Amino acid sequence: MGQRKHLTQFEVERILEMAKKSPNSERDYCLVYMSFVHGLRVSEASHLRLSDLDLGGKTLYIQRLKCGFSTNHPLLGYEIHAIKAWLQVRKKLKGAEESNWLFLSRYGKPLTRQRIYQIINQLGQLANISVRSHPHMLRHACGFSLANRGIDTRLIQDYLGHCNIRHTVRYTASNSERFQGIWKSIRNRQPVTHFGKNISGAILEDEILMEKMEVSGIDVDSIQLDIRSTLSQSDRTD
């Protein structure tokens, strides 16, 4: 069985908690937060520039790679707070004034892809994540999180910059949230006919079971009473 390729929202939150405790807490927290919220590829994160930020207008320009759809994303309120906290630390780094790169090392050099991989992996280990964490898992986590919120597939495609919607469908197709209430919705359908009876869809499976038991010569009167009672209680608690 292949290893899971995305982080859950709980795991992202755990990694963010560990980022707060890292030696470069402001930078690492901002890096993880923005990578998740904007679904950044590792190279997109490493190539973010100060000039891509518009804190006054609360927007971020994202230059997507792989012929992706580049666009402006809104900046969230808490995200702006995290960015400002990092910028306060960043401006004290050697050579920071001459650099347009958003994420710098302690020595004022732009973070490389390899270093970002290392940061995310180390934070994942500290957070006791069961799978090996890497930056692209944050991008996938973003896609699944948006799908779990019922966001339209086309909008997710544009948000993540996918040029082909087939790459986006993985999030909505694997989203268990879309199956929530699928059996409950059957109760609202028109009655269906089964072996000459008009029965509601909610108890269709029970009626089929009862008929099979009757054919086998099993007395089902008491069983039916128990099932109807259970269904009635379930209806009141739904």
Tell me the CATH number at 80: 1.10.443.10
pLDDT of residue 147: 85
Question: Domain check: are 135 and 201 in the same one?
Answer: no
* pLDDT, averaged across the chain: 79
How confident is the model over 215-224, as a mean pLDDT?
51
| In a domain? residue 3 | no
- Kindly list the catalytic residues: 41, 66, 136, 139, 162, 171
Its pTM stands at: 0.70
pLDDT of residue 185: 53
Question: Domain check: are 20 and 111 in the same one?
Answer: yes
Q: What is the pLDDT of residues 48-80, one digit of tens each?
A: 999 999 999 999 999 988 777 788 999 999 999
Question: Domain check: are 170 and 110 in the same one?
Answer: yes
Q: Is the pLDDT higher at 227 or at 54? A: 54
- Structurally, the chain folds into a number of domains equal to 2
pLDDT for residue 29 is more than 60: yes
> What residue numbers bound the domain in which 226 lies?
184-237
| In a domain? residue 53 | yes
Question: Domain check: are 149 and 190 in the same one?
Answer: no
Question: Domain check: are 79 and 157 in the same one?
Answer: yes
Q: Give the chain as a DSSP string.
A: -PPP-S--HHHHHHHHHHHTTSTTHHHHHHHHHHHHHTT--HHHHHT-BGGGEETTTTEEEE--STT---EEEEPPHHHHHHHHHHHHHHTTSTTGGG--BSSB-TTSPBPPHHHHHHHHHHHHHHTT-SS---HHHHHHHHHHHHHHTT--HHHHHHHHT-SSTHHHHHHHHT-GGGGTTTTGGGGGSPPEEETTEEE-GGGHHHHHHHHHHHHTT---HHHHHHHHHHHHHHHHH-
Question: Domain check: are 106 and 220 in the same one?
Answer: no
Domain stop point among 158, 178, 198: 178
Return the percentage of the chain with pLDDT > 70, whole number. Answer: 66
Q: What is the pLDDT of residues 129-176, one digit of tens each?
A: 988 899 989 988 998 888 888 888 888 888 888 776 676 666 666 655
Domain stop point among 137, 156, 178: 178
Question: Domain check: are 190 and 83 in the same one?
Answer: no
